Amino acid sequence: MVRSTSALLAVSVCLTSVALGAHLHGRDINEPLLESYDYIVVGCGISGLVVSNRLSEIASRTVLCIEAGDADHYEAIIQDPVYVGADIGGIYDWDLETVPQTQLDGNTRPMPQGKVLGGGSILNAMCWNRGGSDDFDAWEAFGNPGWGWAGILPYFMKSETYTPVYSDEIAEEYSIHYNPAVHGTSGPVQVSYPKYFYPQSINLFAGMNLLGLPTQFDPNDGTSAGPAFVPTDLDPNNQTRSDARRTYFDPYVSRSNFHVITGQHVTRVLIEGTGGNGEVDNPTSGGNDNGNGPASGNNDGFGFGPDGSTPPLSGQTPPRFARRQDPGTSNLRISGVEFATNASALRQTVYATREVIVAAGALHSAQLLQLSGIGPESLLNQYNITVALNLPGVGNNLQDHPLVGTFYPWADNNASYPSPTELTTNATYNLQAEQEYDTDKTGPWTAGSPNGLAFNPLPLISNNSASILSNASNQNPTDYLVAGLDPTIIAGFTAQKQSLVTRLAENTVAAYEIINNNAGSLTVSVMHPFSRGTCYIQSADPFQPPAIDPRWLTNPVDRQILIEALLFNRQILAAPPMVELQAAQFVPPVDADEDALDQVINNGIRTEFHPSGTLAMLPLDQGGVVDSHLLVWV
């Protein structure tokens, strides 16, 4: 379900800075903040917890992670895989929505995002699936040394303890193979497979194999084309979710230098200094109730290069933001953050002696920088926000995976093909399954994640692929972008578009994903979108959500890919192994013409929950926000 495919996303941003905090466990959550912290991390989701955990490995460093959501209470709805998806829209969701999507049916759409210690890893579908090597190699080619597949793989491996599927027979039937050279055996996240398998994946894979799409050997080895049964972030022994909180935080609560506070919303980062192209912010002007001024800077420029190392310091003065070729006269620095429990609560401030690391997800990180005076000048002016740094890229280049649901219910009267639907329609069956889970940690309750997937390349599923890509190539880059974008952003999209056209022509690069939920749905979603959206503040109030406009399918290439995907679904359903399932074609109907498919798409598009790209790791003259050390460009 995953694949961080879009070449240019930067979900976390490092800003240099300075000192202080609150906490859970190691220190009590209600204890006063420390005098100062070396590092402050905003957002304790997947990125934020990994970064704060790694930084606090060195006992002499103090690290504070600040999370807007609460800590979960080990509820079954989070931990038991059968409930995957059930907590969307619940108490751990920000409940965001998009602006009306006029290019579709004019309606808004939900945009679920985790608001909880552990972020998206608490809400997500648990599919543990690395992007294709070409995605990372493209990042590197865009001026980011070390971010290619070879540079990233050791960190993927370091994160996981991989346990192969428990049965050789299942491994053969479902083609679940693995290459030990790309898997970790001692990392924090437990990666494994359920103890129950719906046989529909066998039919689906066999059908696609007949149509010329071989099953991937190991979907985490850098290949990204074709069907695959992907592993999950699942503890192999007790079959529970192995999320960021339980892997990067809970086992480390006794680290007294690692502090986490929850239920605290960061309202802005505090900026001091002058230069760049903006003005100065007074770090003590913002309702500071703890009286701590910024600690004196002892900035070591730690910036999490992809190799986890400190970026090279070419001079004596450590970088506070990233430096331009021409460093100019800027001495802007981030000194801390301001936060509050809620809109009416007193704002507090806390300072960092070294860095503030923004890891609030693609949407809220963009919002936070904008609120703080870092972003497109015209946008900030609209809300009377003092411009510290005019950085046009912040909140632009938004990419998401648009997904269309389908409904092809299989015959439900065939005992050879059990369906997860039975868990909701047959109370006796569900009770048996629950008991089996409780006592043996086996059975259908272990198999909630929809992990029989396919990532199909365009040339292998459509005879129109050359024509679609040549049309994409011939587009003027501004044809489908928001009007009036800064020229640097247009330059960045121009480069991305060329990269996409070249890569999508390959038989090894995924154009779209199929998710099989074993209950008659084969959703299709665009994996390398050409459409670009925006995430802009719509108020100077940090407690108002940003305006999220994914602009799904505004570029017609994305729509053409979905049409080809829906047509190819018909070929899959007509392949003999799938005919056995006796599927009806309800959505879209079997005879839907292209107009009817358009309607299904316009009504059906939803997010696949993967917003990215709003703080692009790109050169400044291509709309970049951060450099390859994730330091904000000045």
Binding residue positions: 116, 266
CB of residue 45 to ligand FAD, shortest distance in Å: 2
Compare residues 325 and 428 and give the one whose CB is closer to ligand NAG. Answer: 428
Choose the one of ligand FAD, ligand NAG, none that binds residue 467, judging by a C-beta under 5 to 8 angstroms depending on kind.
Answer: ligand NAG
Cα separation of 492 and 502, whole Å?
16
Q: 337 has which bridge partners? A: 269, 350
**Distance in angstroms (rounded) separating the CA atoms of residues 450 and 455:** 14
We find the least distance from the C-beta atom of residue 402 to ligand FAD, in angstroms, to be 14
- Please identify, using beta-carbon distances, which residue of 385 and 617 lies nearer to ligand NAG: 385
User: For residues 189, 192, 197 and 202, what is the CA-based torsion angle, rounded to 10 degrees?
Assistant: 110
Q: How far is CA 243 from the centre of its chain?
A: 14
Select from ligand NAG, ligand FAD, none the partner in contact with residue 301, using the beta carbon and a kind-dependent cut-off of 5 to 8 Å: none
Q: Which does 45 bind (CB under 5 to 8 A by kind): ligand NAG, ligand FAD, none?
A: ligand FAD
For residues 224 and 509, is the Cβ–Cβ distance under 8 A?
A: yes
Nearer to ligand NAG, 411 or 592 (CB): 411
Count of CB atoms situated within 10 Å of the CB of 444:
26
The Cα 337–Cα 358 span in angstroms is 10
Task: Tell me the two tokens of residue 457.
Answer: 């390349």
Contact partner, 360, from ligand NAG, ligand FAD, none, Cβ < 5-8 Å per class = ligand FAD
The nearer residue to ligand FAD, 45 or 443, going by C-beta atoms, is 45
- Report the Cα–Cα distance between both ends of the chain, in Å, rounded: 35
Which C-beta is closer to ligand NAG: that of 342 or that of 498?
A: 342
Tokens of residue 378, six digits? 């015209």
Residue 96 sits at the vertex; the CA angle it makes with 95 and 101, to the nearest 5 degrees, is 135
Task: State the nearest-atom distance from the C-beta of 415 to ligand NAG, in Å.
Answer: 7
SS3 for 49-80, per residue?
Answer: HHHHHHHCCCCCCCEEEECCCECCCCCHHHHC
Beta strands 389-390; 374-375: pairing state: parallel
Q: Which residue is nearest to ligand FAD, using beta carbons? A: 45
Taking the complex as a whole, the smallest distance from the CB of residue 629 to ligand FAD amounts, in Å, to 17
- Using CB under 6 A, list all residues that contact ligand FAD: 1-2, 11, 42-48, 66-69, 88, 112-116, 119-121, 123-127, 265-266, 359-361, 364, 368, 609-610
Q: How far apart are CA 17 and CA 308, in angstroms?
A: 18
Least distance CB 105 / ligand NAG (angstroms): 22
φ, ψ (nearest 5 deg) of residue 37: -120, 150
- As measured in angstroms, the least distance from the Cβ of 610 to ligand FAD is 6
Of ligand FAD, ligand NAG, none, which one sits near residue 432, judging by CB under 5 to 8 A according to partner kind?
ligand NAG
Q: Please provide residue 245's backbone torsions phi and psi, each rounded to the nearest 5 degrees.
A: -65, -45
* Residue 113 touches which member of ligand NAG, ligand FAD, none, C-beta under 5-8 Å by kind: ligand FAD
Binding residues vs ligand NAG (CB under 6 A): 79, 235, 237-238, 240, 341-342, 344-345, 383-384, 411, 413-414, 416, 426, 428-429, 432, 461-464, 467-468, 471, 560, 580
Nearer to ligand NAG, 60 or 413 (CB): 413
Task: Give the integer Cα–Cα distance in Å for 73 and 32.
Answer: 23
Which partner in ligand FAD, ligand NAG, none is near 428 (CB below 5 to 8 A by kind)? ligand NAG
Annotated binding site for FAD: 116, 266
Comparison of 437 and 609: residue with beta carbon closer to ligand NAG: 437
The percent of the chain in helix, strand and coil, each rounded to the nearest 5, is 30, 20, 55
